[in-house]
Amino acid sequence: MNATKKFLSVDSLKPGMVTAEAVFNRFGSVLLWENTVLNNSMIQHLKNMGIQTVAVLSEKPEVTYIQKEGKESIRQLQFKFEYEMNVKETKKIFNEISSGKKIDINEVNPIIESLTSTSGTNRLAIDSIMEVRRIDEYTYYHSINVSLLCIVIGKWLKLSKQDIKNLAMAGLLHDIGKTKISPYILNKPGKLTDEEFEEMKKHSEYGYNIVKEMEDIPEEVAAAILTHHEKEDGSGYPGGLTGDQLNIYSKIITVSDIFDAMTARRPYKSNDTPFKVFELMQHGSFGILDPVVLNTFLKNITNYYIGSTVRLNTGEIGEVVFMNKMDFSRPVVLVNNRYVDTMVSKTERIVEFL
């Protein structure tokens, strides 16, 4: 039987019910996403936040969950499967280029179609960037993640479908030039020497030259691959261009690239918590990142971390219940039935994302 939507008072909610749409608090922040299976803790949280009614599915879908290391939805498993297949295909393309083969847009298009068709599951796309990646596989996962982030940012900015498709391609291929960089430099766990860093910086030019040989590649896509390390104030590379000389694809890739790189879990690098990254991006990127793209990104992506489990510097475990828009890195955390506003508190801070 197909599920339909109905509205219930919060007092009528029961564990096991599934939300039919997202639940927002009075400030417009997301408390629960659609298709969330309610439990007692969530229901009590909704009551504490003053929620009156919630849209739920009147009937459970015929197959909502299957057992695999706990409960994962069919949608999650399908996304993970397609995600890994896209990584595999990306690796194949990168390896072919490394061996001297020219890239064919017909090899890229199926990946783009897959990413743009599955990216509606923004929650799953954002979760994917938190997975641990092997050092020698990092570039392929990073390419997929940047493409996914570009897609969701493009949608948040209300870009056209064609622009979003172009964005997905530019994000996927933004690091294609790394196929021309020595694996020793790419996989080096320590700090690069000045000479190695100068070589690494050439990857955007290498990438531009690779994609320019593709038939039917949009010029805006090639330009974004060349300029994705440029900055608004002209401090980037390779051309030292300023914001007025960069297209929107380039600006979006830059934000996506930075966020995924900083939150990535790699064997030799401890990842920053998303909240630390929010702090650096919100308060440490003035003049570097496009403010419209950055603000749109932060305003939207931070909502996905409501409900996250975190550890404070006191050792206490809590749940993020509200994002402070003045400082996204300092959310309100529910700890043992008390609310800790880390923006107000002078002593309590989030130190670990669990």
Hey, what are 343's tokens?
Answer: 């923006």
Whether residues 193 and 89 fall in one domain: yes
| DSSP tag of 267 | T
As a whole-number percent, the residues of the chain with pLDDT over 90 amount to: 56
Residue 67 within a domain? no
Residues 145 and 186 in one domain: yes
Q: How confident is the model at residue 354, as a pLDDT?
A: 80
Q: Where are the alpha helices (DSSP H) in 212-330?
A: 219-227, 248-263, 274-283, 291-301
Examine the domain organization and report whether 182 and 119 are in the same domain: yes
> Are 129 and 149 spatial neighbours (Cβ–Cβ below 8 Å)?
yes
The pLDDT, as a whole number, for residue 61 is 41
Q: What is the pLDDT of residue 28?
A: 66
Q: Where are the alpha helices (DSSP H) in the chain?
A: 40-48, 74-98, 105-118, 122-128, 138-156, 161-173, 183-186, 194-200, 203-211, 219-227, 248-263, 274-283, 291-301
Q: Read off the pLDDT of residues 298-337 as tens digits, 9 standing for 90 and up.
A: 999 998 888 889 999 999 999 999 998 899 999 999 999 8
Residues 44 and 87 in one domain: no
Question: Looking at the structure, do residues 226 and 279 belong to the same domain, yes or no?
Answer: no
pLDDT of residue 269: 54
Within this chain, do residues 205 and 92 fall inside the same structural domain, yes or no? Answer: yes
CA–CA distance, 193 with 78 (Å, rounded to integer): 42
N residues, the chain: 354
**For residue 68, is it within any domain?**
no
Verify that 107 and 131 share a domain, yes or no: yes
Of 242, 269, 296, the one marking the end of a domain is 269
The CATH number covering residue 18 comes to 3.90.105.10
**Residue 326, burial from CB neighbour count under 10 angstroms (0-12, 13-18, 19+):** exposed
Q: Give the residue carrying structure tokens 């880390």.
A: 342
Give the range of the structural domain holding residue 15, as residue numbers without chain letter. Answer: 5-62
Q: What is the pTM of this model?
A: 0.78
What are the C-alpha distances in Å from 14 to residues 2, 44, 168?
20, 10, 40
Q: Is residue 335 part of a domain?
A: yes
Q: 54-58, 267-271, 336-340: which range is least confident on average?
A: 267-271
* Whether residue 302 sits in one domain with residue 213: no
Query: Can you tell me whether residue 192 is helix, strand or coil?
Result: coil
Residue 2 in this model has a pLDDT that exceeds 70: no
104: domain CATH number is: 1.10.3210.10
Residue 106 has pLDDT above 80, yes or no: yes
Q: What does R_g of the chain's alpha carbons equal in angstroms?
A: 22
Would residue 154 count as lying in a domain?
yes
Would you say residue 133 has pLDDT above 80? no
- Give how far Cα 191 sits from Cα of 133, 196, 202, 321, Å: 19, 9, 17, 38
- Residue type for 346, please? K
260 domain residue, yes or no: yes
Residue 114 and residue 46 share a domain: no
* Final residue of a structural domain among 210, 241, 269: 269
How many angstroms separate the CA atoms of 306 and 24, rounded?
Answer: 11
The residue behind tokens 């954002």 is 126
Q: Which residue has the higher pLDDT, 18 or 181?
A: 181
- For residue 116, tell me if it sits in a domain: yes
Name the domain boundary from 215, 236, 269.
269
Map residue 26 onto helix, strand or coil. coil
Q: 346 with 317, same domain?
A: yes
Alpha carbon distance 177, 180 (integer Å) = 6
The dihedrals phi and psi of 127, each to the nearest 5 degrees, come to -60, -35
Q: Is residue 243 situated within a structural domain?
A: yes
Q: Are residues 98 and 149 in the same domain?
A: yes
Q: Per the structure, how many domains does the chain have? A: 3
Same domain, 175 and 103: yes
CA–CA dist 232, 254 (Å, integer)? 10
Cα separations in angstroms, 23 against 167, 334, 340: 30, 18, 22
Let me know if residue 80 belongs to a domain.
Answer: yes
